Structure 1
Amino acid sequence: MGTVSTQPYDRRAASRVLAGLAAPGLFADTEPQAPTRIAVRATPLRPEPGSALTQSQRMYLERFMRPCRPEQVTSATHRLTWTDSAGIPNTGYYHTEGAGPELAVLARETVLTLWRALAGSGVPERSAALSERDRAVLAATTTDHEPPEIFRVGVEAAGRALTQHGLIAGDTPYRDIVEFARGMRDSGIFAAVATRWFWELQASTYRRGMIPVRLVTQPDGSVRYSPDSIALLRAMKDATLADAEAVMHRATTEEGMDVAAAVARYHDDLDLISRQYALLPTGTRPACLAATPQTVDGKAVHVLATVVDHFVTTFAALAPTVRVVEDATVLDPGEGQGDDGVFYVPDMSCQHCVRTITALLTSMDIPVLGIDLAAKRVEARIRSPRNRFRVFEALRDGGYNPVDQAGAQAPGAAVG
């Protein structure tokens, strides 16, 4: 009887697998979206006295963003809640001197459109035909193992990056959100996020409505990160990588664990940089798998550029069709007072989030019955309104924004 080889962690190989799947085409054509009216609720954030940050933002910064200082962070002024055209509750942030609430809503509609385009592109069929070796590479290296999910998360990450940088749109010369999106693309800001940030820093600061960079306009009208921002991002990445390396070194040398056991034992310690970055060889700097250009059958393939180009093009095409109106009477954010075990976590974006939320509820002795990542839906055996309130508070402490099922309004209505 033959033995099954174990494929090692290999980011370069995983990048090549994804490029091969993307080479024939990542997105199919989609039908134009009908005019849609989406109502949003904007709630002012409450910074601590004498500070521009909320308590949650300050606590996260002090614990996880060293050596970042409070004055290096821009906070949103408002939190948004709304239900998108697919009927899924969402949360987001905006700054009154930034791009405005329309950016987050339109970015979400762009994500939904590209998810449909991805489903019809042939990627699911090509993914199903992957060799066992290629599947093993992804299983050993990526957080989301199924390629369609990896690409879906990538699309959502593009929307997240655009929306988060909208907090500092006032740094730029761009006059509206479409010009802003194009400017971000043409200036290489999406690529900067993929290479200079690390995943959990971008995701966690986004969920908290904060961004630790500034943009500087260049003579040609493009924008770049300020030199201080570049230095800060590097310092935060280096500090986090050093922490992960220290944990893994202690576990594998002093405690004699193998890598798998070390990751399982110290999951919470490694959570902020994720299992994938903890497994990087010492001295290796992490970057998004999609950011590395590949050659497939003699053809240059750049997954990140493909996703970003389609995102911005689709964003611009949807802009005239989506009307955003503020309405303080709709979409209560939810206070954890529902009478069943179903709720939504709108800023849950990948399997890392799923595992984090599952682990949190399990630690509270609350069984998780199911999580639908695409619908942002969680079902758990909560048993009482008091426990539900506790769950919501714990999720908020983790940077998520849970929403009661009862708080969801009807999907965005077509405009007559």
Structure 2
Amino acid sequence: MGVTAADSYDRTAAARVLAGLAHAGLFASDLTGSDAAPVGDRTRIAYTATPMTAEPGSHLTYSQRRYLERFMRPCPPRMLTSATHRVVWTDSAGVPNTGHFGPGALGPVVPIAVRETTLALWRDLAANAVLADAVARLDPGDRAVLAATTTDQEPLEIFRIGVEAAGRALAQHALLAHQTPYATPAAFARGMRDCGIFSLVATRWFWELQASTYRRGMIHVAFATLPNGTVRYAAESLDTLRAMKDATIAEARAVMRKATGAEGLTVEQAVARYHDELDLISKQYALMDEDTQPRCLAQMTNVVGGERFSVLPVVVRKYVETFVRVLEVVELTERTADPVEDATPTDALTDADDGRFHVPDMNCRHCQTTIRGLLESMGVDVVEVNLTTKRVVAEFRSARNRQRAFEAIRDSGYTVVSGPTV
């Protein structure tokens, strides 16, 4: 009998592999001793800001309320802070993006600068020849551990997703800037780093919670300011995060027990079926021992080269200082909102570009699988789902078929930007 994915699942070993790869320097600029990645010349970006519309008698939108009720038990509605505006722009790489800002004074520059920071660090990561060589020399056992344990599997893609997750944490917590003493985006970013907020996200949140609440423009924690001017999560926030995480783990394990018991599925079959269909099972929860709590791989400490090392502080340090540099070169202009697309579909598709669109908040292989699965479940042939460019290419039967597919994607919490590839 061959070795299965479940046999190779090992979070401690996966963290060791990633730490070993990153220890010499995760980014090319690390090898030269630079605190920030190269960010280039002045970048001019035009954006559209649209007010968020809450339901009557509530401070939440319909999408936020629905997600809270379905997936965030036992978090009470009063704990959620909603963005005041949704912002849309095209980044310096030509990729459409969406984000949120408010209710504080930091404004749209935070989500936009976060995206430019992510792009700069992705370039810096790709330019690291030492890292690329180390990845190429990974032995088959280490690759099997990453394939069985992580969602994105390939080391460079794991690091890319980690960089993007750091950006999400920064942009999402900016919705709470009015609860902090930090008056500027640069001060806020450095404050989040110095107060350990990135580490709190890695410890207390779970992956789907961060991605889904980010896409919906809300955050479910509150800050408390200490006498020394630093901030921390309020005690109720910590208690609620723990309860939410425990509930999610228990639900995933219950589904796994049912799938591998009453339904007679193998572990691999159970993960494939329920991770895609119900979004309840993930390797992070379902394959862990019953007495184990999930920990972020980047936060685990390993001994590498005779010293204690973890990946998360490296990413956070580089992200924050690069973000501060980006703030100095990004120039924003606001433009008038465009009409709502696809409001009145017809039966005819008139152009090859009708099958091309972007999903700006698609940010990992889980998202990629979700988008592909939604489309294929509706009989749509999928040609491409590209995480780097956020582009999807599909073959729709009619404009109505495309419109229904777009609605299904939006119902899953994603944004659809239709039109030609940029």
Tell me the TM-score normalised to structure 1 length. 0.93
What does residue 247 of structure 2 align with?
A: 239
What does residue 231 of structure 2 align with?
A: 223
Contact 2:43 2:330 in 1 (8 A): yes
What secondary structure is seen at the aligned counterpart in 2 of 1:92? strand
Distance verdict in 2 for CA 1:237–1:31, change over 3 Å: closer
In 2, distance between residues paired with 1:291 and 1:273? Answer: 22
1:29-52 CA deviation, whole Å, 9 max, x = no partner?
A: 354411111111001111100000
What does residue 341 of structure 1 align with?
A: 355
Q: Does 2:307 match 1:304?
A: no
Contact 1:81 1:333 in 2 (8 A): no
What does residue 33 of structure 2 align with?
A: none
What secondary structure is seen at the aligned counterpart in 2 of 1:324? strand
Q: CA deviation at 1:311?
A: 0.2
In 2, distance between residues paired with 1:262 and 1:150? Answer: 23
Q: Does 2:125 match 1:118?
A: yes
Distance verdict in 2 for CA 1:231–1:98, change over 3 Å: farther
User: Whose RCO is larger (CA < 8 A, sep 6+)?
Assistant: 1
Q: Does 2:158 match 1:144?
A: no
What does residue 13 of structure 1 align with?
A: 13
Bigger Cα displacement from structure 2, 199-208 vs 292-301: 292-301
What secondary structure is seen at the aligned counterpart in 2 of 1:179? helix
Q: CA deviation at 1:277?
A: 2.1
Q: Does 2:44 match 1:69?
A: no
What does residue 104 of structure 2 align with?
A: 97
What does residue 95 of structure 2 align with?
A: 88
Residue type matched to 1:61 in 2? L
What secondary structure is seen at the aligned counterpart in 1 of 2:209? helix
Structure 2 gaps of 5+ residues are 30-36
What secondary structure is seen at the aligned counterpart in 1 of 2:70? helix
In 1, distance between residues paired with 2:3 and 2:227? Answer: 57
Q: CA deviation at 1:4?
A: 6.5
Distance verdict in 2 for CA 1:334–1:302, change over 3 Å: farther
What does residue 414 of structure 1 align with?
A: none
What does residue 58 of structure 1 align with?
A: 65
Q: Does 2:329 match 1:315?
A: no
In 1, distance between residues paired with 2:164 and 2:281? Answer: 19
Contact 1:270 1:278 in 2 (8 A): no
What does residue 372 of structure 2 align with?
A: 358
In 1, distance between residues paired with 2:299 and 2:332? Answer: 33
Distance verdict in 2 for CA 1:5–1:265, change over 3 Å: closer
In 1, distance between residues paired with 2:284 and 2:2? Answer: 26
Residue type matched to 1:346 in 2? P
Q: Does 2:202 match 1:194?
A: yes
Q: Does 2:261 match 1:253?
A: yes
What secondary structure is seen at the aligned counterpart in 2 of 1:127? helix
Q: CA deviation at 1:140?
A: 0.5
Q: CA deviation at 1:3?
A: 6.9
Q: CA deviation at 1:335?
A: 3.5
Q: CA deviation at 1:389?
A: 1.1
Q: CA deviation at 1:144?
A: 0.4
1:278-329 CA deviation, whole Å, 9 max, x = no partner?
A: 2121132112110111111212222000000000010111211101221125
What does residue 27 of structure 1 align with?
A: 27
What does residue 32 of structure 2 align with?
A: none
Q: Does 2:388 match 1:380?
A: no
Distance verdict in 2 for CA 1:153–1:354, change over 3 Å: same
Contact 1:341 1:383 in 2 (8 A): no
Distance verdict in 2 for CA 1:167–1:272, change over 3 Å: farther
Bigger Cα displacement from structure 2, 191-200 vs 62-71: 62-71
What does residue 278 of structure 1 align with?
A: 286
Residue type matched to 1:10 in 2? D
Tell me the TM-score normalised to structure 2 length. 0.92
Q: CA deviation at 1:362?
A: 1.0
1:8-38 CA deviation, whole Å, 9 max, x = no partner?
A: 2100000000000001100113544111111
1:247-280 CA deviation, whole Å, 9 max, x = no partner?
A: 1111222333221122233234651453332212
Residue type matched to 2:200 in 1? A
In 2, distance between residues paired with 1:357 and 1:239? Answer: 26
Contact 1:99 1:177 in 2 (8 A): yes
Bigger Cα displacement from structure 2, 88-97 vs 30-39: 30-39
Q: Does 2:406 match 1:392?
A: yes
User: Could you tell me the percent identity over the aligned residues?
Assistant: 56
Return the match for 2:174 from 166, 173, 179.
Answer: 166
Q: Does 2:164 match 1:156?
A: yes
In 2, distance between residues paired with 1:272 and 1:79? Answer: 28
What secondary structure is seen at the aligned counterpart in 2 of 1:328? coil
In 2, distance between residues paired with 1:273 and 1:224? Answer: 31
In 2, distance between residues paired with 1:395 and 1:136? Answer: 32
In 1, distance between residues paired with 2:373 and 2:39? Answer: 40
Contact 1:198 1:273 in 2 (8 A): no
What secondary structure is seen at the aligned counterpart in 1 of 2:294? coil
What secondary structure is seen at the aligned counterpart in 1 of 2:50? strand
In 2, distance between residues paired with 1:312 and 1:237? Answer: 27
Residue type matched to 2:285 in 1? Y
